[in-house]
């Protein structure tokens, strides 16, 4: 995206929808578009969202996706479209399973398995939403980036100023701003900045896209380091997402994240996604590379 552009919120969201609307190439092969103005490595949430959209096109509408498990193999390039091949591994009485390989220039960049389930009734319980302030009155991520742009290296300024289709409103401090260690917990409200169509597959694809935001940084909170200031090399290694209930991605959702472990240059993270009225609608786990960019000095 060119920095001088000033797209409307609806234009930003339409670009996201166009990005997630994969093209059917025939034979259970699909192609994902490049992000407008994208430079460098493809955002992992884009690959997951496009892979999910590809798999859903091979399953009947009465079997919504309930889980996906993905492994990132190589960093994708913003210079090329992404090709997706879907394998129809199983169609049973209640469940279907699909396997997706995402590739660029003939090399796989992501493997993903997805499971689909006919709606059934059953026993119900859910963990409660954490007690946190609502999104009203919280500064959004774009405002925080503008206020603290001087804390980022100049090479990241253009990226930090880019308008985005997903609004984030963090609850509590972030280490990249104050440089202080914090508990490995991060709560963030998020939603699309404009109204989405009613198709639930679109809302699931947008949530899959957004689920790769905020999560990996939770493991860096206790160490007061950030990829933005060059203190570490970070990349998602795997990503698992479970869809529990219905939601709209253009209404406020709380992403409640924690990181119970980090070590050996990896960080493990968990996330729970709630509607504003406290309904648990999705769960996420991810392990990522958090490799220090310089040797760690240990103190006794």
Instruction: Please say if 28 is a catalytic residue.
Output: no
Q: What is the DSSP letter of 94?
A: S
Mark whether 238 is an active-site residue. no
Q: Which of 212, 221, 258, 272 is catalytic?
A: 212
DSSP string, 176-236: HHH-----SEEEEEEEESSPPPS-HHHHHHHHHHHTTSSTGGGGGGGGT--GGGTSEEEEE
The answer to whether the Cα torsion of 271, 277, 278, 280 is positive or negative is negative
- Give the residue among 72, 75, 80 at the shortest CA–CA distance from 32: 80
Phi and psi (nearest 5°) for 234? -130, 145
Distance CA 22, CA 52 (A): 10
Catalytic residue among 50, 226, 236, 272: 236
The active-site residue out of 46, 54, 115, 286 is: 286
Catalytic residue status for 79: no
Tallying the residues shown for the chain, one arrives at 300
Q: Would you name the residues annotated as active-site residues?
A: 212, 236, 286
């Amino acid at each position: 995206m060119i920095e001088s552009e000033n797209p409307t919120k609806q234009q930003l969201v339409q670009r996201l929808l166009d990005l997630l609307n994969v093209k059917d190439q025939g034979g259970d092969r699909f192609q994902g578009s490049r992000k407008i103005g994208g430079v460098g490595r493809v955002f992992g949430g884009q690959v997951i969202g496009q892979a999910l959209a590809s798999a859903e096109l091979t399953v009947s509408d009465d079997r919504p996706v309930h889980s996906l498990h993905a492994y990132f193999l190589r960093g994708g390039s913003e210079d090329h479209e992404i090709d997706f091949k879907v394998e129809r591994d199983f169609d049973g009485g209640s469940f279907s399973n699909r396997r997706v390989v995402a590739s660029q220039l003939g090399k796989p960049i992501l493997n993903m398995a997805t499971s689909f389930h006919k709606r059934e009734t059953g026993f119900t319980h859910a963990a409660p939403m954490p007690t946190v302030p609502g999104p009203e009155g919280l500064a959004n991520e774009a405002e925080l980036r503008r206020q603290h742009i001087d804390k980022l290296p100049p090479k990241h300024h253009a990226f930090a100023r880019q308008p985005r289709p997903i609004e984030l409103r963090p609850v509590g401090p972030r280490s990249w701003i104050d440089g202080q260690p914090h508990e490995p917990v991060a709560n963030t409200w998020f939603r699309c900045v404009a109204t989405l169509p009613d198709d639930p597959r679109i809302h699931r694809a947008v949530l899959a896209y957004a689920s790769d935001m905020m999560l990996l940084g939770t493991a860096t909170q206790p160490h007061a380091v950030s990829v933005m200031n060059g203190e570490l090399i970070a990349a998602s290694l795997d990503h698992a997402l479970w869809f529990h209930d219905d939601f709209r991605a253009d209404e406020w959702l709380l992403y409640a994240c924690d990181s119970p472990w980090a070590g050996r240059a990896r960080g493990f993270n968990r996330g729970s996604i709630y509607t504003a009225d406290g309904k648990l609608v999705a769960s996420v786990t991810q392990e990522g590379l958090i490799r220090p960019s310089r040797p760690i000095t240990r103190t006794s």
